[in-house]
Structure 1
Amino acid sequence: MVPNQASPLVPSELLQPIINKINTLSKSQQHAHWYMRRVEEYLSAVQRRPISEHGAREVTEWLSELGRKTTLTDWQFRQCVEAVGILMRVAQAPAIDQVDWKFWLAGGVALENNHPTTGRNNTPITHAVIEPSSNIAVPEDADSVESKPRSLSDAYVRAVRREGLAYKTEQSYTAWLQRYVSYCTSRKVDTRAASSVRSFLDYLVLERNVAASTQNQALNALVFLFRKVFMSELGELGDFAHSKRQRRLPVVMTRGEIQALLSQLDGRNELMASLLYGTGMRLMEVIRLRVKDLDFGYRQVHVRNAKGGKDRVTPLPERLIERLTHQLEEVRLQHRVDLEQGYGEVWLPEALERKWAKAAASWEWQYVFPSARLAVDPRSGKVRRHHMHESVLQKAVKSASRAAGLAKRINCHTLRHSFATHLLENGYDIRTVQELLGHADVSTTMIYTHVLNRGGAGVRSPLDF
């Protein structure tokens, strides 16, 4: 553990309490040694004021500077945050209450190479050969060896991208293709036979007990395979086992439960959760918000390229305007420093980076909720600041639900369900709610009427007559 030796940077009255705190966290003497090194690194960089007076400015400036060092690993960054937190707590400095410690501790989570935001740009069409190339229909524009698909998986991904389907659809469809080919190989049946598809759908229900939506997704992936890759219609499949598992009704929280949940959150997590409930946006729609998407003049949020590639507009809650303005001020300051140090770019969708060369570094394209750290783009090699990882908010909402003592199964999407239900309870017509949610069919929105029709303000129990 940390030896009781003097440090030229740590005040003598704080040294032993800091050592005690570090020793309780440390697993080994070397581990504890590095915690003390982090404390000394912070103090050597920030010596303008007494430690007891350090606030959010000193701490966030230092952590932001660390976040621009791409050589620092995730666990080293978290170690720095924990070490400074110990120092602030022992010194009883204002920063202990002013800094959003949860954000900085989780802020080092980088986007994976195949993350839905950047995956398509970072994932070349290179897959293991899972089917002989004789089964592959080569498109007419394949005029070079490099452009010709080398496997069924390769051809499938090319077809998905030609159709402009979402990257998440590409991931799920490709996974179903691999499962289907694996099934056909193990049963020694023809991949291109309709009977193999029927047998696979039976297998999913009879042996895997999947839900109806899962079976439908598998069928859609295989219909796409036959139509766009094999260039033939699947045709009639005849009788096959259909999943009987019923679709679940959405979990909805009362207004009191919403307040209890939000009271257990703080900082950016509380702001993002409030946006989920106040606007009805999906998790990734909030996470991917850009500065240009917030329209304070008209009090609305532009949701760009949402599910199905559609745009829509949803109301911006009045009570969040001041906090969002403050959040943008912090992001602008961070962006300004990034630019001064030669960074400041964000990922741009599709071909916008080539079309507008300077857009990636412009203010309006920055994320409203950026990551605490810069990251190297695995394909281009550029150092960029992506948005926060969605798992940060997901974990925070789960923890807040447990802390609030809520017995319901709560996640981020529950806030969207609650938004729709509470609007209907307050008299808004279902077509309006459909537009705000971005549903293509009103029948999807109809599921939220279950709370209105059962109990509560709907049918009274005869026991209450």
Structure 2
Amino acid sequence: MNYRDGNGGVTDAGQEQRPRLLDEVRRRLRLKHYSLRTEQAYVGWIRRFILHNDKRHPRDMGAVEVERFLSDLAVRGRVAAGTQNQALSSLLFLYREVLAIDLPWMEKMVRAKRPQRLPSVLSQTEVQRLLAAMDGRPWLIASLLYGTGMRLMECLRLRIKDIDFSHHEICVRDGKGGKDRRTMLPRSLTDALQREIERARTMHASELAAGFGATRLPGALARKYPRAAQEFAWQFVFPSVQRAIDPLDGATRRHHFDDAILARAMKSARQRANIDKPLSAHTLRHSFATHLIEAGYDIRTVQELLGHKNVATTQIYTHVLNRGGHGVLSPLDRV
């Protein structure tokens, strides 16, 4: 990408600095172990910021340009508060971590206030109808999301070693905030999950025979344990349908199941089940927590299963206690 200098001329960023700016952003993000999705989002916002300001280099810009960019997102782009905050976070990372510029105006940037909204929750009957309209691996993944309360990527990134059938537990590794936790393994899914693991075992044997079979390991484990990447215990429970080139190191390997396939399957199932509520994979996590509280489980237990840092985050699901026979009776119903 070429940048305009302070005099209005055009300079080649490749000649001005080594490595190029966006490449350095990626390098710093990977050095700090940010996820690939965060990397893609941050790079995208930084590119948009530069293009929005006529390709001027970020070193030549400051508070005025950042505030104008964020305001344009809100006014013209009509983006949500969370999206605007993500754009701000990416620019803060650019200036602090990449350009090493810690300016006073950065501390004064006000983040957009996110509105407090109740989560979209399915009733137990709606969950039954949704799952009945699904089959195959999407059905199993959706069932695990509802049965365990895991986040979507926590479920898709499950490794074989993280399933404990003897104790009916699942170990969720590197969840939000980099924390590990344990959640239950629904007994009703034991047989289906064991069949899925055997399917993965057969696929892994074929991959090894074809000269592949090495999975991506978290952190620096690949250097510490060079042979671990080919061990079955480290393989994904839900491997992808086909191999792909890893964008982080260029190696050809089989990643985990594509979340886009699950999204399409859930959308189709929602239509067949005649469910009119907004629905995503995260809706099943909301439904898990809500139904546990409806069943009388302690909120601290639900907090631990969800992996929430603060119980106040979990308390949003107590809205069910103020509804129907569990809460206040409308005065109209007394008439």
The corresponding residue for 2:8 is none
Moved more, 258-267 or 153-162: 153-162
* SS of structure 2 residue aligned to 1:281: coil
- By how many angstroms is 1:359 displaced? 1.5
Deviations 1:192-249 (A, max 9, x none): 3222222222222222222221222222222222222333334247998975773442
Contact 1:198 1:237 survives alignment (8 Å):
no
Q: Which deviations, in whole Å up to 9, do the C-alpha atoms of 1:411-430 show, x marking residues without a partner?
A: 21110110111111122222
Q: Residue deviations 1:230-280, cap 9 Å, x none? A: 333342479989757734421100100000001011122211111000011
What's the counterpart of residue 141 of structure 2?
A: 272
User: Structure 1-normalised TM-score?
Assistant: 0.63
Q: Which has the higher contact order (CA 8 A, sep 6+)?
A: 2
Per the alignment, in what secondary structure is the counterpart of residue 185 of structure 1? coil
Cα distance in 1 between the residues matched to 2:159 and 2:194 = 13
Alignment of 1:191-270 (within 5 A): 191-236=60-105, 246-270=115-139
Q: Distance in 1 between matches of 2:250 and 2:52?
A: 38
Distance in 1 (alpha carbons) for counterparts of 2:73 and 2:250: 41
Contact 2:3/2:55, CA 8 A, preserved across alignment = no
Q: What is the CA distance between 1:405 and its match in structure 2?
A: 0.5
Q: RMSD across aligned C-alpha pairs, in angstroms? A: 3.1
Specify the alignment match of 1:400 in structure 2.
Answer: 269
- Is residue 175 from structure 1 mapped to residue 44 from structure 2 by the alignment? yes
Q: Which moved more, 1:385-394 or 1:348-357?
A: 348-357
Aligned pair 1:391/2:260, yes or no?
yes
Does 1:412 pair with 2:281? yes
**C-alpha contact (below 8 Å) 1:184/1:190 kept by paired residues:** no
Partner SS state of residue 320, structure 1:
helix
Give TM-score, length-normalised by structure 2.
0.85
Q: 1:244 to 1:364 in 2, by over 3 A?
A: closer
Question: What is the aligned residue count?
Answer: 325
Give the conservation status (yes or no) of the 8 Å contact 1:367–1:387.
Answer: yes
Q: Distance in 1 between matches of 2:249 and 2:107?
A: 48
The one-letter amino acid paired with 1:185 is D
In the alignment, the residues of structure 2 paired with residue 427 and residue 252 of structure 1 have an alpha-carbon distance, to the nearest angstrom, of: 17
Q: Structure 1 CA distance, aligned partners of 2:296 and 2:264?
A: 33
Structure 2 unaligned blocks of 5 or more: 6-13
- Find the counterpart in structure 2 of residue 464 from structure 1: 333
Cα distance in 2 between the residues matched to 1:189 and 1:292? 45
Q: Could you tell me which residue of structure 1 aligns to residue 10 of structure 2? A: none
Contact 1:423 1:433 in 2 (8 A): yes
Contact 2:244-2:255 within 8 A present in 1 as well: yes
Q: Residues 288 and 162 (structure 1 numbering): CA distance in 2 closer, same or farther, change over 3 Å?
A: closer
Residue 357 of structure 1 is matched in structure 2 by 226
Q: Secondary structure at the match of 1:231?
A: coil
Residue 315 (str. 1) matches residue 184 (str. 2)? yes
Q: Distance in 2 between matches of 1:377 and 1:294?
A: 25
Distance 1:296 1:188 in 2: 55
- SS of residue matched to 1:402: helix
Identity in percent: 48
Distance in 2 (CA, whole Å) between partners of 1:303 and 1:291 is 11
Instruction: Check 1:273–1:242 CA distance in 2 against 1; reply closer, same or farther (3 A cut).
Output: closer
1:438 to 307, 315, 333: 307
Residues 1:151 and 2:20 aligned together: yes
Q: Would the aligned equivalents of 2:170 and 2:182 in 1 still touch at CA under 8 Å?
A: yes
Q: Does 1:329 align with 2:198?
A: yes
Alignment gaps of 5+ in structure 1: 1-127, 133-144
State the alpha-carbon separation in 2 of the partners of residues 211 and 378 from structure 1: 29
Partner of 1:160: 29
CA distance in 1, matches of 2:3, 2:310: 37
